[in-house]
Structure 1
Amino acid sequence: MSASIQSSVKLQKADNVIIATRALQVGDKAGSLSVLDSISAGHKIAEVPVAKGEALIKFGQTIGFASMDIPAGSHVHSHNMEFSDPGVHHSFCKEYKPTQFVAHPEERTFNGYLREDGTVGTRNYIAILTSVNCSATAAHRIADAFGDEDLAEFENIDGVASFAHGTGCGMAGDNEGFANLQRVLWGYAKNPNVGGVLLVGLGCEVNQIDFLLEAYGLKQSPTFQVMNIQGMGGLRKTIEAGKEKIKAMLPEVNKTSRAPAPISKLMVGLQCGGSDGWSGVTANPALGYATDLLVQYGGTSVLSETSEIYGAEHLLTSRAANQKIAEKLVERVRWWEDYTARNNGNMDNNPSPGNKRGGLTTILEKSLGAVAKGGTTALEGVYKYGEPIDTTGFVFMDSPGYDPASVTGQIASGCNLIIFTTGRGSAFGSKPSPTIKVASNTPLFEHMPEDMDLNAGSIISEGKSVEAVGEEIFEFMIKVASGEHSKSEAQGLGDYEFIPWQIGAVM
């Protein structure tokens, strides 16, 4: 990336747009250009005249097409730019390179909770899961009975959290939505950040607890208990019995304490939300650099949000370790094209209004910036929503772009840490896996200091390198994995952000 002058930046030599680094008025200079419109920071400026129908280039890639003639110095945005399929060719595996691992990975560790199956938690929660929305109140009230004072003597327990959702019945028991819900519940029960589970149902729902236990080989134990409201004789009795089960579970879960573990045991979900024109320039590439470091230490990074890599998936298929992995990603993209079409939507129903105010114009532009979170290492696997991730390295998990639903799937797949970049601002947080938030611009970092952990905007405001900020993210990742609270975690976020992706008719 090379800066022309302080007021603007050009990302790639092939680009025909530049980015305003501060608000510009008519007549201001951006390089050698005289600006013809009022332009907000993070928005695009035509560096050269662009004819109607001509491609607009950012990141060295097509992000859209001019819907009218655009003079040099003009604001480039929704009023003069449109989405169209750029006709990108998928060159499977052509840029695949085996990962170069660090020489002595054992030299870097974090302090985590070692589990019997070999995974390592960054937190140690007791999770109260619900099979159906009808048991949501019971789950919340059981969890609410165990506050900080009640857990003070259990120093190895991070909390008792309820994970209630809005489905589980009124649905077909053999479709994609049902499979998603089953994988999510099983995945949360098995997540390394969960040391104990209480699964609460109603009794007559489609999503039967017994079926879940049988399908996934789950067995009751001192740290895995189940119950349902109808069998217990009502809501009050269920809540009281649930409290007693958690009380009995606390000493057992507390027996596990933090111990050094290799960084290879980290599985980090990569997210972006409330993105702006800087997300793909600062925060996402810096996270990508941190992702590369994690993978080089043998860890796993999980990119998701299929609807927000649309039009940029060729950058991932070209890095795929083999053709089967590349084809699986394309199959997921084609599924999304069909899914949105049959629901009277389209894949360009994005960016959001907030994204557009921040400078993003088309899904192509947003996707090209979002893919940068995945760094540069090989794509080693593609997984369905909430499917257990059984390989290391950089992988992709299918999900919506809706942040709570996407993160829910990542945690179900095994992620024990989440890193979330944002340019407009976000108050998102998650349990049992904590979320680290990275601001894409300095004004946001200064405006929301209680929510933002790190400032990637320093790449523009202070001239830091992407690599230097990536190192900061990597080091903070290890601190949080070892127990330091992230900003969202300190504010108690995560109790209401459990949103399994619901597909199919509600009956």
Structure 2
Amino acid sequence: MTQTAANARVIRVHPNDNVAIVVERGGLAEGTAIAGGVITTMPIPQGHKVALVALAEGDRVIRYGEVIGTTVAAISRGGHVNETNVRLPTAPALGELPLATREPPAVEALEGYTFEGFRNPDGSVGTKNVLGITTSVQCVAGTVDYVVQRIKRELLPRFPNVDDVVGLNHSYGCGVAINAPAAVVPIRTLRNIALNPNFGNEVMVIGLGCEKLQPSTLIDDKPVKIYENTEAADPDANVLSLQDESFHGFGEMVEGILAMAERHLERLDRRRRETCPVSELAVGMQCGGSDAFSGVTANPAVGFATDLIVRAGGSVMFSEVTEVRDAIHLLTPRAVDREVGQALVDQMAWYDDYLAQGQADRSANPSPGNKKGGLSNVVEKALGSVIKSGNSPIVDVIGPGERLRRRGLTFAATPASDFICGTLQLAAGMNLQVFTTGRGTPYNLSMAPVIKVSSNSTLGQRWFDLIDLDAGRIATGEASIEDVGWELFHLILEVASGRQRVAAERLGLYNDLVLFNPAPVT
């Protein structure tokens, strides 16, 4: 895959590719010799594409053995290929895709690997032990933030086995068309986040009282028990509304929440880690701030680790519809059956329609940072993105906000937004996330650990205290995809066991949840 000449290293992924990406830090100067006798005709930045052959106007540009676009003007051999001179091709036609045509690869089960997790009564396993306080409406977010700080300062030190308390704030709940068909997405997302295994079935709901999304609708798995401001308050209470007429002043509201939190913390503190098989892991794979290296270093290594987890009986989900759409023809053949293949197609069609309603299309992706990192368009980005899914059969497809149903590899349909995707993967039951990046992001979740993998060593070294694993060593020839994939697999087990904290958690960096709400706002 990697070719060198005259100390200038480039990466050509597939023998049919007519472009390669520049590995050298600082890029290549005009007149630099690379493999095959190609001489650069202009400066080409690191991660950007160099033409290996002369391309006439309208010629196909090929990377990963796939067409990523056509040229808008002639490009000389050794020229710079980028978003300004490549035209976006037509997306694969959804009605003509092969469904479940690939024979699943023969692999051996991976046995003997375990992690230390928190087992829940429903059989799920958490990688953290967290008290979650969710809100039914944005109006109470400030109160919850205030109370969370009080709990951390006054209560949490008494419960050493509880990792954290987090406020699950969001901007939904009132002024929304709650009965519109698409409203099912944010509502089931909030319900299912409360069921995340890292919360140990001890989530509290704080509401205002007059909102459309009533607090009681967010507790699906256990009886709703309303906190009452009396001496005989139910110790199992899990719902409190600030407009409860028994409260006199803000102080009593806060004391009510603290009292309810104390009971939940007491139960969470009794949880202990125990040895669990890898089959109890539910890992979300995501990328953000991607560059041209992502599809040849970090994402392939993640894909290798994905296959290891699946071989061990675990669950892995990959997502981001707009970063799958242009590579969907590579995925539908991998569906375990035609029903799953059709579900993939249906999710792509739903999102095509969603974008059209908003008078947008897939060309809105990639971002300026992606382009600066060498990605010309969403086709190139998608072809590099889906590699996170490895080579395993796709056993299920779930819609936004739905929960995982099967062990193995699942496509969880989400937007490409880092924060929305992370929120929806939490709702699906993710207990750990792996996040690849080429441009860099301090993104992290307080509800589940996020392992960040850099696609290039320039970032890995510059962000030495924010990146957990540097996959850029693959590009420089210091490590193979398999080496980094195994390294990531072992790191996942260490983090899931609580023996190693991710970099952003050590720094105390966390992002808010962001709901996906395709329904109207009133």
TM-score calculated relative to the size of structure 2 = 0.93
Residues of 2 paired with 1:224 and 1:273: CA distance?
39
Matched, 1:371 2:386: yes
**Residue in structure 2 matched with residue 91 of structure 1 by the alignment:** 98
Match for residue 10 of structure 1 among 12, 21, 25: 12
Q: Which moves more between the two structures, 184-193 or 425-434?
A: 184-193
Give the deviation of 1:154 after TM superposition: 2.0
Match of 1:171 among 176, 180, 186: 176
Shift of 1:432: 1.1
Query: How far apart are 1:492 and its partner, in Å?
Result: 2.0
2:468 and 2:179 mapped to 1: Cα distance? 42
Aligned pairs (5 A) from 1:29-48: 29-31=33-35, 32-48=37-53
Deviation at 1:218, TM superposition (A): 4.5
When residues 92 and 222 of structure 1 are mapped into structure 2, their CA distance, relative to the original with a 3 A threshold, is: farther
* Counterpart-to-counterpart distance in 2, 1:222 and 1:462: 59
Q: SS of 1:64's equivalent?
A: strand
Whole-angstrom CA distance in 1 between matches of 2:21 and 2:291 = 12
Partner in structure 1 of residue 264 of structure 2: 249
The separation in 2 between residues aligned to 1:76 and 1:27, in whole angstroms, is: 16
- CA offsets per residue over residues 277-316 of structure 1, 9 Å max, x none? 1000100000000000000000011001111112101111
Query: SS where residue 7 of structure 1 aligns?
Result: strand
Structure 1 pair 337–457 and aligned structure 2 pair: CA distance change class (3 A): same
Structure 1 equivalent of residue 107 of structure 2: 100
Shift of 1:448: 0.8
Distance 1:253-1:71 versus aligned 2 partners, 3 A rule: same
Distance 2:474 2:3 in 1: 11
1:53 aligns with 2:68: no
1:225 correspondence with 2:238: yes
The one-letter amino acid paired with 1:91 is P
- Evaluate the alpha carbon distance shift between residue 93 and residue 4 of structure 1 in structure 2; reply closer, same or farther with a 3 A threshold: farther
Asked if structure 2 preserves the Cα contact closer than 8 Å seen for 1:291 and 1:374, the reply is yes
Deviations 1:299-353 (A, max 9, x none): 0110011111121011111100011111111111111111111111111111100
- CA-CA distance at 1:224 after TM superposition: 5.9
Distance in structure 1 (CA, Å) of the matches to 2:141 and 2:222: 24
The counterpart of 1:27, out of the listed 27, 31, 54, is: 31
Aligned 1:340-355 pairs, distance under 5 A: 340-355=355-370
SS of aligned partner of 2:395 = strand
Contact 2:117 2:126 (C-alpha < 8 Å) held by counterparts: yes
Shift of 1:139: 1.3
Q: Show the counterpart of 1:274.
A: 289
Partner of 2:503: 487
- Please, which of 158, 168, 188 is the counterpart of residue 183 of structure 1? 188
Aligned residues: 503
Offset at 1:490?
1.4
Between 111-120 and 306-315, report the one with greater CA deviation: 306-315
| Structure 1 range deviating more: 88-97 or 444-453 | 88-97
Q: Does 1:332 align with 2:325?
A: no
Contact 2:205 2:218 in 1 (8 A): no
* Structure 2 residue 126 is matched with structure 1 residue 121: yes
User: Aligned pair in 2 of structure 1 residues 380, 441: CA closer, same or farther (>3 Å)?
Assistant: same
8 Å Cα contact 2:136-2:218 kept in structure 1: no
Q: How big is each residue's C-alpha offset from its partner over 1:408-446, in whole Å with a ceiling of 9 and x where there is no partner?
A: 000111000000000000110012111000000001011
- When residues 453 and 499 of structure 1 are mapped into structure 2, their CA distance, relative to the original with a 3 A threshold, is same
Work out whether residues 17 and 56 of structure 1, in 8 Å CA contact, stay in contact via their aligned partners in 2.
Answer: yes
CA displacement at 1:149 relative to structure 2: 7.3
Alignment CA distance shift 1:333-1:122 (3 Å): same
Unaligned runs of 5+ in 1: none
Alpha-carbon shift at residue 491 of structure 1 (Å): 1.9
Contact 1:4 1:10 in 2 (8 A): no
Q: Which moved more, 1:123-132 or 1:224-233?
A: 224-233
Q: Runs of 5+ in structure 2 lacking a partner? A: 226-233
User: Which runs of at least 4 in structure 1 moved beyond 6 Å after TM superposition?
Assistant: none
Contact 1:99–1:377 at 8 Å: present in 2 too?
no
| Residues 7, 29 of structure 1: 8 Å contact kept | no
Could you say what secondary structure the match of 2:238 adopts?
Answer: strand
Show the 5 A alignment for 1:100-499: 100-102=107-109, 105=111, 107-147=112-152, 150-195=155-200, 196-213=202-219, 218-220=223-225, 222=235, 225-231=238-244, 233=247, 235-483=250-498, 484-494=500-510, 496-499=511-514
Give the letter aligned to residue 130 of structure 1: T
Single out whichever of 412-421 and 93-102 deviates more from structure 2: 93-102
- CA separation of 1:256 and 1:99: change in aligned 2, threshold 3 A: farther
Instruction: Tell me the distance in 2 between the aligned counterparts of 1:155 and 1:217.
Output: 26
User: Larger deviation: 484-493 or 298-307?
Assistant: 484-493
8 Å contact from structure 1 (residues 130, 136) kept in 2: yes
Please, what TM-score do these two structures have when normalized by structure 1? 0.96
Range with bigger deviation, 277-286 or 181-190: 181-190
Q: Is the 8 A contact 1:44 1:77 kept in 2?
A: yes
Offset at 1:112?
Answer: 0.3
CA contact (8 A) 1:138 1:238 kept: no
Contact kept? 2:224, 2:239, Cα under 8 Å: no
Structure 2: distance between partners of 1:303 and 1:415: 11
Report if the CA contact (8 A) 1:177-1:501 is conserved. Answer: no
Once the two structures are superposed, what CA deviation does each residue of 1:192-235 show, in whole Å capped at 9, x if it has no partner? 1002211001111111123344x665544856610111115354
Q: Distance in 2 between matches of 1:250 and 1:56?
A: 58
SS of 1:15's partner is coil
CA distance in 1, matches of 2:324, 2:10: 26
Q: Distance in 1 between matches of 2:365 and 2:449?
A: 27
Q: Shift of the alpha carbon at 1:152?
A: 3.1
**Aligned-residue CA RMSD in angstroms?**
1.7
CA distance in 2, matches of 1:274, 1:223: 43
Separation (CA, whole Å) in 2 of partners of 1:29 and 1:141: 61
CA contact (8 A) 1:223 1:253 kept: no
